[in-house]
A and B are shown apart, each in its own frame.
Chain A
Amino acid sequence: MGVEAREARQPWILLSPALVAITFLLFVPLAFIVVYSFWLRTATGADVAGFHLDNWTEALTDRFYRDILLYTLKIAAITTVVCAVAGYPAAYFIARSNRNKGFLLLLLMLPFWVSYIIRTMSWINILGVSGAVNSFLIWAGIINEPLQMLYNEATVILGLVHFLMPFMILNVFVSVDGIDQNLESAANSLGATKLQTFFSVTLPLSLPGLAAGGLLCFVLAAGTYITPLVLGGPRDAMFANLVFEAIITQLNWPLGSALSLMLLAVLGALVLVYNHFLGMAQLMKGMG
């Protein structure tokens, strides 16, 4: 065998463990649950192989599932918008600050290292019946009985925003940081006010980062089931909670497969639209 042929084979040898792992632990299992979603669950617990549309009919026509899917998308959308509106100025500040950029970025990375479950439950210390806010209000004499602030839709959104804010800021930062500041100076010297410059130069040029952050926030928010369990009430179940219920609690695996695939289809469609317009490279920039 020639040297060239060996050179050409080497990368494939290096890549093969990763490709084999992803094929057999991701792609084949995904194909498997597509098949599984057409099987039937029987009362005895054994699943019957075959081609039945029952699970799909139930998942797609039952109002219950549709309502929760819409509710999930609503929660994810609100979370994304709040992250974008609140996170953008912070990302802009970090990108444009001269002295503290490195320090602020390092701080921004820290929440990524603090466990999701801890960040979520930390709000119980703040908003719970004996949490910081209630204790302060009682101490200040403003209220006598603790307020019930937790376990509703708003606290689910709060928890999600808290969890996802660093993703948004980091992605917008990468974008704003990459803008040639001469463009802004040029706009200014041509007579544009600071606000005009921002809306006609800076904001449009940072849209790719905003979109990447938005996609991450939306997809991660829409796929969560821990936050509603910890910070939500009984009526705040999101779509992933249904999947968890079907798979773990009811052991109805065929239906659980169909529900998982529904979630994948909706969120996958978003990723594809994003990929079509902006490509995956932008998303990688924010993560690397």
Chain B
Amino acid sequence: MNRGMGWTLIRLWTMLVYIFMFLPVAVVVLLSFNASEFGAFPMSGLSLRWFVELAGNDAILRAFRTSIILGALTALISTTIGVLASLALIRYKVPGQNLISTILIAPILVPEVVLAVALLLFLNALSINKSFALLLAGHVIFTLPFVILVVQARLVSIRRDVEEAAMSLGANPVQTFFSITLPLLLPAVLAGGLFAFTISFDDITGTLFWKPGGVETVPTQIFAMLRNSISPEINALGTVMIALTVGLPLLGLAIARRMSANSGG
């Protein structure tokens, strides 16, 4: 189909925009395999030496452990709370639905810096100092709206009549939930959990306010290392993070597809 000059220009422009979005990140990955001492251009060859160096860096390994534990706990709590709230909003007629929805997404509407300051000062007044607990509370509160949005979007597509059929065939509500609703819900739960994990794993804005001295997550570790200069080690760390945070959702997407394909057929 010939759509003319304008279309060709728009297509070219779109390609440039995509290159703009991806090229810098691609360069991070490329340079992380750089064999040269300074980790910059020109590249002198390919090597895994910076990854080996990463694996031997205690500070970075600790940061990874902190990030993974924090992300997993955030995902667990946020998804549990979020799925319950989404069920209520999709399955029931609740008075003041709009107001409740707005309240539930309020943590996204408040700038993260302000949220970070408010939570830090309030919990400090309750004698909860900068700690892992504060970090976790913060991460739960700002991942919750995203979980609710994602889970709600998935829940809408689950048909109520399957549950009603189970009930009318004699299953009680608890049986119905575990044998019908939960399996149908699982892709939504997984999607919400993965989303919460990646947002938590990537966060830096709030984390810098909440983290206790000496504790680093991977993003704050990268940030601290940037103070000196960009090193090939940072690029390698970035590459590992990209592999984790891009690979996990893609994996999740694939699993969700397969599961919904199975339950559909």
Contact = CB atoms under 8 A, between A and B. Distances in A.
Interface of B: 4, 6, 10-11, 13-14, 17-18, 20-25, 27-28, 31, 38, 40-42, 80-82, 84-85, 87-89, 91-92, 94, 100-107, 109-115, 117-123, 125, 137-138, 140-141, 144, 146, 148-150, 152-153, 198, 201-202, 204-205, 208-209, 218-219, 222-223, 226, 230, 234-235, 238, 241-242, 245-246, 249
A19 B107 CA distance: 12
A288 B89 CA distance: 15
Given A15-B94, A32-B122, A225 B25 contact: no
A76 B24 CA distance: 22
A187 interface: no
B42 to A, nearest CB: 6
Contact of B205 (A125, A226, A248): A226
B11 A93 contact: yes
A248 B208 contact: yes
14 contacts: A19-B85, A21-B144, A26-B141, A29-B119, A36-B121, A90-B13, A90-B14, A113-B202, A119-B25, A124-B226, A126-B24, A135-B42, A226-B223, A230-B223
Nearest to A32: B122
A139 B42 contact: yes
B84 to A, nearest CB: 4
A256 B117 contact: yes
Nearest to B103: A22
A116 B25 CA distance: 11
A131 B117 CA distance: 36
Contacts of A43: none
Nearest to B220: A117
Interface residues of A, number: 84
Interface string A207-218: 000000000000
Contacts of B41: 130-132, 135-136
B168 to A, nearest CB: 16
A142 interface: no
A175 B146 CA distance: 21
Interface stretch (A51-59, A60-68, A178-186, A259-267): A259-267
A12 interface: yes
A95 to B, nearest CB: 11
Given A26-B118, A89-B13, A115-B202, A18 B113 contact: no
Most B CB contacts (10 A, CB to CB) among A21, A87, A118, A243 go to: A118
A240 interface: yes
Contact of A113 (B6, B152, B198, B223): B198
A222 interface: yes
B20 A29 contact: no
Contacts of B226: 121, 124, 230
